[in-house]
Chain A
Amino acid sequence: MDYTPTQSGFRQQPNMRQRNSSADGLEGSQLFEDTSGAAHGLQTGYSNQQAGPQAAGFTGQSILSDPMSNLAMAYGSSLASQGREMVDKNLDRFIPISKMKYYFAVDTVYVGKKLGLLVFPYMHENWEVRYQQDTPVAPRFDVNAPDLYIPAMGFITYVLVAGLALGTQNRFSPELLGVQASSAFVWLIMEVLAVLLSLYLVTANTDLTTIDLLAFSGYKYVGMIIGVVAGLLFGRPAYYLSLLWCCAAIFVFMIRTLRLKLLSDAAAEGRLVRGTRNQLRMYLTMSIAAAQPIFMYWLTYHLIR
């Protein structure tokens, strides 16, 4: 998972296009469907080959195919690169892809440590995110940095585990997977919007971006998965016990992480600072942390009957 620069993608593209056009001609690259002129050029080239030199025999085929298909391939590859540029430019306006790459720069050691931290945050002492020239260090180098890999994987695993749990109760149908996924997603969006609104109202000057909030809200899926799997394997008491443990762990995790970001420096160190602003921020931190267990229970209780 390293940053592959787009240059290599550009260089790869004409080779792939030539290989594909010689074999099939209709496969697209990763981001967009290939409706460029290469397919039409090849089709006209092939039909010319079939209709024209059938009387002239097969010796004319190689002479006809080369310039025609070369031209078509060159035109098609230039069209493809233009299209790719346009898509990249427009996509970058809506979804900041370069910023997203930071959140997915993880490795196995980080994921393991972070999962351990989500389940057992009581021994960890230093919760500050290390900075490197005004930007946070990539998650690969710092356990405290938020990432989007664990929330994304956790969401998908939650949907699958929910389908599994519903299947063991004979309540499963394939549409239910989509229903579970969309309702969990809607709750996530509403939670992020509520947190954004309350951050705006309290005028907290933080460097928490929307994606950071999305990452923090997505960490609760880990606890939910653990609870549901324990409930499937060992029954309801195990579900309640493991959910309780994970709720407490997420509560402590969120408070310790948000405390450094939301509160002022003095209040974050534990000293009692007077003033309504700090009090409001404290309440906000508490309520964000307390909302996580509520959501964890709300989204999983119907799966364990």
Chain B
Amino acid sequence: MAFTLYSLIQTAILCINAIAVLHEERFLSKFGFGVEQGVGGFGDDPGVKAQVLSLIRSVRTVMRVPLILVNSASIVLLLLFG
């Protein structure tokens, strides 16, 4: 129960890593990740599944490079300070 802000940061890093390592071919295509024309529909009701897919795609695109930096920083810090 004793959560600290540091554990929140850890949780965030782990979750974003988890989203980033999902493999496109083997896993995400089963859920319609590769369907391009479905996302382009600017209808009134994209639906929950389309929203989840667009969220996953945008997180992967945006956070790829910062994740590399943040992961290397945390590896170095964990090696130094345990």
Mark A residues whose CB is within 8 Å of B.
179, 182-183, 185-187, 189-190, 200-203, 276-277, 280, 302
How far does the Cβ of B5 sit from chain A's closest Cβ, in whole Å? 6
How many angstroms between the C-alpha atoms of A182 and B46 in the bound complex?
A: 37
Q: Is B65 an interface residue when CB atoms closer than 8 A count as contact?
A: no
Which one of A179, A186, A280 contacts B8 once the chains associate, using CB atoms below 8 Å?
Answer: A186
How far does the Cβ of B45 sit from chain A's closest Cβ, in whole Å? 6
Identify 5 residue pairs between A and B in the complex whose beta-carbon atoms are under 8 Å apart, listed by A's number. Answer: A179-B4, A183-B3, A186-B4, A202-B48, A203-B45
Which chain A residues lie closer than 8 Å to B63 at the CB level? none
How many angstroms between the C-alpha atoms of A302 and B1 in the bound complex?
A: 10
Contact of A182 with B45 at beta-carbon distance under 8 Å, contacts A200-B55, A201-B52, A203-B51 already known: no
Q: Is B2 an interface residue when CB atoms closer than 8 A count as contact?
A: yes
Contact digits for B49-80, partner A, Cβ 8 Å, 1 yes 0 no: 00110010000000000000000000000000
Count B interface residues, CB 8 Å: 13
How far does the Cβ of A301 sit from chain B's closest Cβ, in whole Å? 10
Contact of A182 with B5 at beta-carbon distance under 8 Å, contacts A201-B48, A201-B52, A203-B46 already known: yes
| Top 4 A-B pairs, shortest CB-CB distance | A186-B3, A183-B3, A201-B51, A186-B8
Q: Is B37 an interface residue when CB atoms closer than 8 A count as contact?
A: no
- B45's nearest neighbour on chain A, judged by CB, is A277
How many angstroms between the C-alpha atoms of A202 and B55 in the bound complex?
A: 12
Which chain B residues lie closer than 8 Å to A280 at the CB level? 48
Is A183's CB under 8 angstroms from B4's CB?
yes
How many angstroms between the C-alpha atoms of A49 and B60 in the bound complex?
A: 65
How far does the Cβ of A116 sit from chain B's closest Cβ, in whole Å? 32
How many angstroms between the C-alpha atoms of A288 and B52 in the bound complex?
A: 20
How many angstroms between the C-alpha atoms of A201 and B55 in the bound complex?
A: 9
Is B2's CB under 8 angstroms from A183's CB?
yes
- B51's nearest neighbour on chain A, judged by CB, is A201
Is A190's CB under 8 angstroms from B8's CB?
yes
B1-51, CB < 8 A from A: 1-5, 7-8, 45-46, 48, 51
Is A179's CB under 8 angstroms from B52's CB?
no
How many angstroms between the C-alpha atoms of A290 and B69 in the bound complex?
A: 39
How far does the Cβ of B54 sit from chain A's closest Cβ, in whole Å? 10
- A186's nearest neighbour on chain B, judged by CB, is B3
- B6's nearest neighbour on chain A, judged by CB, is A182
Which chain B residues lie closer than 8 Å to A277 at the CB level? 45
How far does the Cβ of A205 sit from chain B's closest Cβ, in whole Å? 10
Is A200's CB under 8 angstroms from B1's CB?
no
- A178's nearest neighbour on chain B, judged by CB, is B4
Which chain A residues lie closer than 8 Å to B3 at the CB level? 182-183, 186-187
Which one of A179, A189, A276 contacts B2 once the chains associate, using CB atoms below 8 Å?
Answer: A179
Is B5's CB under 8 angstroms from A185's CB?
yes
- A182's nearest neighbour on chain B, judged by CB, is B4
Which chain A residues lie closer than 8 Å to B48 at the CB level? 201-202, 280
How many angstroms between the C-alpha atoms of A277 and B46 in the bound complex?
A: 10
